[in-house]
Chains A and B, each alone.
Chain A
Amino acid sequence: MVGLGFRREFAEEMISGELITPDFIEFAPENWMNIGGYWKKMLHRVLEKYPVLCHGLSLSLGSPEEVDKTFLRYVKSFLEEYKVRIYSEHLSYSKCDNAHLYDLLPMPFRMDAALHMAARIQQVQDYLQRPLAMEIISYYTPVAPEMSEADFINEVVQRSGCQLLLDVNNIYVNAFNHQYDAKAFMAQLPLDKVAYIHMAGHEQVSPDMILDTHGHPIADPVYELFEWTIRQIRPVPVLLERDFNIPQMQDLQEELTRLKSICHQQWKHHELVA
């Protein structure tokens, strides 16, 4: 299954399904919970048409402070109300000293941070009664690392029992920005835990820096890395993210079709799953 991130900019087109037909949609619960009026009606219309996965933005599981239990209650009720199949979050933090920063910040790759994050993921999984799929974020600087990124991820996954959301573009961006080999990095990950894949575009802004913008088509080297990646894992849902510079729907549909064709080619001997 190949889905598309649901955005207000192209809500009508997705609901009409004339120019674009993803297999499922994904959105951040934060952007849709506790609202009414026009957008609640639109949400209900799109949910009549597509299965939904949710990708959280502000649980901030790497934060030094406690999990926000009030917010977590809202998330649980939202996931249940809309029968969300997969709920994913990020291996990062976006809140510190009880102040939200509304961005995904890089965790220090250190044992105390890994233990802290694993415990919080476990706490949330226990409360939600479902595994979380945790996304490896793109980041632009390491922060006082004492272990490798792959060791950090393995530690968190092993201790928390969470699943992984593999954003192939993030891995490509990180490999470029931090000068490592993307495939060698992925080979160190617990790929049997991958439950979900994200794909997106990026922009190179300087000779040594790529930004994970979600504002461009998927780059060819990322397609190549995607093809390599999915040969290593069982079939999982794949999502196209496009948040800025929204193109014509036909262009997005072409990207969905290309992703689907790669999945079909590589996973043709597996049963497709949702």
Chain B
Amino acid sequence: MSSLPDSRQLQQRFTKHIRTGVRTIIPGVAQDRLAHYRHAIFHMVKDTMESAYPVTCANIPARKWDRMVRDFFAHHACTSNQVWKLPLEFYTYAVENNWDEVYDIPYLSDLLAFEWAEIEVFNMEDIAPAAFTSTGNWLETPLVLNPEYRLLSFKYPVHREAKRARLLKEQGAWFVLLHREPVNGHVQFTGLSPWLAFVTEQLAAGITVKDILEYAPQLGITVTAELEKDTIAFLVDMQRQQFVLGFQP
């Protein structure tokens, strides 16, 4: 009968050291080789985060960024089988642990959300759009939107700016639409006013432009001919960008 712990315990000790650096002695394990595993795996995780969040990483002091990744890897049990989804867990961990305050970066969760959304929309599974025709009435016919999109709202305009001082001056309500172009798979970003974000949300629910405009006064919005004209101009432009695909038949 062996006096050593069973394999499960050995594996737990081995991996705990890799994740946390907590010193451990395992029979037969050379400390320098254990250090090699810890170093190699941590850097793989860090590289994955830096590829996913290039803007975030470039605008945070290197030591702070390193501390974030170490904190994440040591204390969060990564559940994704697919490495490309690991950055989502990083973002979620940052939000759950209130990193905006902990690291004194009030726009951090906005920035991570924005960078993750690009990866998500680029990779998301194909979604077949509803049937549509190319002609219809912009006001009265329900529109068919490209279903491969995300509509995000932020406190800071992280889609336009990465510098701390400028971001902090522009706290407010910001909206960004990301959609994937059907043919080439590129992800397009469009900054939206609160009104156009509302319109987009309602169009996705199948409401017509006319009904949205009729509802607008209940939101305190004054509907003018110019608002109607600008709204339709936006939709025409989004048709050119393949976000609006057409009209319901």
Contact = CB atoms under 8 A, between A and B. Distances in A.
Q: Do they bind each other?
A: yes
Contacts of A63: 11
Given A38-B185, A142-B28, A144-B27, A100 B80 contact: yes
B40 interface: yes
Given A140-B33, A143-B14, A30 B81 contact: yes
Given A38-B184, A140-B33, A146-B4, A105 B15 contact: yes
Interface in B1-41: 2, 4-8, 10-12, 14-16, 18-19, 26-30, 33-34, 36-37, 40-41
A66 interface: no
A99 B127 CA distance: 31
A37 B122 contact: yes
A68 B81 contact: yes
B180 A37 contact: yes
A192 to B, nearest CB: 28
A64 B6 CA distance: 11
Given A100-B78, A143-B26, A39 B19 contact: no
A58 B81 contact: yes
A144 B29 contact: yes
Interface stretch (A90-98, A168-176, A220-228, A246-254): A90-98
Interface stretch (A14-22, A81-89, A106-114, A118-126): A106-114
B14 A34 contact: no
B10 A35 contact: no
B126 A112 contact: no
Nearest to A64: B8
B238 interface: no
Residue from A62, A71, A113, A144 with most neighbouring chain B CB atoms (10 Å): A144
Given A34-B125, A68-B81, A142-B28, A103 B37 contact: yes
A214 B186 CA distance: 30
A101 interface: yes
Nearest to A74: B81
B185 A103 contact: no
B82 A141 contact: no
B34 A141 contact: yes
Interface in B119-161: 122-127, 148
Contacts of A101: 15, 18-19, 41, 78
Interface in A7-56: 30-31, 33-41
A105 B37 contact: yes
A37 B78 contact: no
B127 to A, nearest CB: 8
B231 to A, nearest CB: 29
B166 to A, nearest CB: 32
A172 B140 CA distance: 71
B227 interface: no
Nearest to A42: B185
Residue from A33, A58, A62, A64 with most neighbouring chain B CB atoms (10 Å): A64
Interface of A: 30-31, 33-41, 58, 62-64, 68, 71, 93, 96-103, 105, 107-108, 110, 112-113, 116, 140-146, 209
